[in-house]
Structure 1
Amino acid sequence: MKETSSADKSQFTRADHLKAWAVHAFTGSAVIWACCAMLALMRQEYLQMWGWLAISLIVDGLDGTFARRYRVKEVVPWFDGSSLDLIVDYLTWTFIPAIFMSQNLSFAPGVPGKGIDLIVTAVLMVAVCASSMFCYCNKKAKSSDNYFVGFPAAWNIVILYLYLVDMSWWFNLTIVVLFIVLTLSPLTFCHPFRVERLRWLNILSVVVWLFCIIWLTIYFPERNPIVWWLWWISGVYFIGNGVVRTFIGPQAAKRRAQKSR
């Protein structure tokens, strides 16, 4: 066994190790963007905050591809890049958006940030952060065809939608509670880079959505009609993709087989 292990290690060159560590550094760079986003949030410079989070979103979308290409798990098996990825994801996908939510969205009647609104917002913030921890610790959070099973704690997207549509407190409350519940549901959500089915369309819709979200955030509260509708169409496509997959995918077939026994 020791000889095999030694042989496995010798197959990787110094260049392989440099590439693997470069991938880890790329993933870890999201901490920089998270800190920049947090500082912008503290200064109430929200456009900058969402800009930094958008950079971290791009990093998160690409680092997995790089990790698989350069076989980082094999080259540096003692360093857990998956844990690194989860840490920075929790900061940028959940924790910072949750703080933004608590400061900029209303969830109860009355004066925002005071009285019942303050209490409800505090409870929701805890629920958002707690449900996200469950999501990140759930080893069954990915399906066999690389869909997310349950809402994948993408609170930066949900909170930004609520901020841009600028609806009443009851709408905000309903949407946040709904997605907290969906964390524990069997509903699937598409991973645009990992799901092979219609991958080209998934990636195209992400590019369109990202362009639209950048435009709408920069020019908020103005809404270009074409950009606005493209934003909604690309978002609905993603949700619809997961809903359809929930009822016709491998997990759905498995559940039907179990019920028939």
Structure 2
Amino acid sequence: MVTTRTVEYEVDGETYQGLLAVPDGQGPFPCVMICHAWAGRAENEDKSAEKIAGMGYLAFAADVYGKGRRGSSTEENQKLMEPLVSDRTGLLAKRLSASLETMKAQDEADASRAAVTGFCFGGLCALDCARGNLGVAGAAAFHAILGQQDKPQAGDIEAKVIAFQGYDDPMAKPEDQKAFADEMTARKADWQLHLYGGVMHAFTNEKANDPDFGTVYDAQASKRAWDGFARFLAELFG
């Protein structure tokens, strides 16, 4: 049985609202933060939090836009995302850090065992948590934007990193995949990159059905990625 509750927190005087999903049993539990896609925290992230809690981990669907700030069109989504993508080591990192600390502060959370995951823009966020060494043991990204930060950081990446990508993703092309592999290697990360042939962007999202835009759901790739993610968490937390 999984129980859920909303959790509000503040960054620079602005209110953010995440969803906490807690598994049945005796905590504290290893915890996993879910970073949302470019529309903001929505049904997909909340369902993913419940799914991860069903695997035995505390899960927190975070919010980096602000309470009630959500997009409903490409233009609105872009407008919400752009300020954060333009300042990944500053504004975005601050909001991600606050979200992680909020998750770790929950009574049911084992703050010493934390991981992060995310989808699309949220995948970029998850990878940036690893790039910035923000206090996670592992970072897993689903169909992420793979590009490096605006101010690429140096030093070893402490978290284990895994990315699940469609080879035909127009938002993370083969040259981006190669650059990501080179970046992770240069920073001595324990990293994995899983590529799925014939698969496009947003392949875990059942509502994705826009081949012209490059976002198409793929049930087989989604299952393979989620299975790989489950193994990754088991390796992290035992």
Q: TM-score range by the shorter chain?
A: under 0.3
Structure richer in helix, relative to its length: 1
What is the TM-score of this pair, normalised by structure 1? 0.24
What is the TM-score of this pair, normalised by structure 2? 0.25
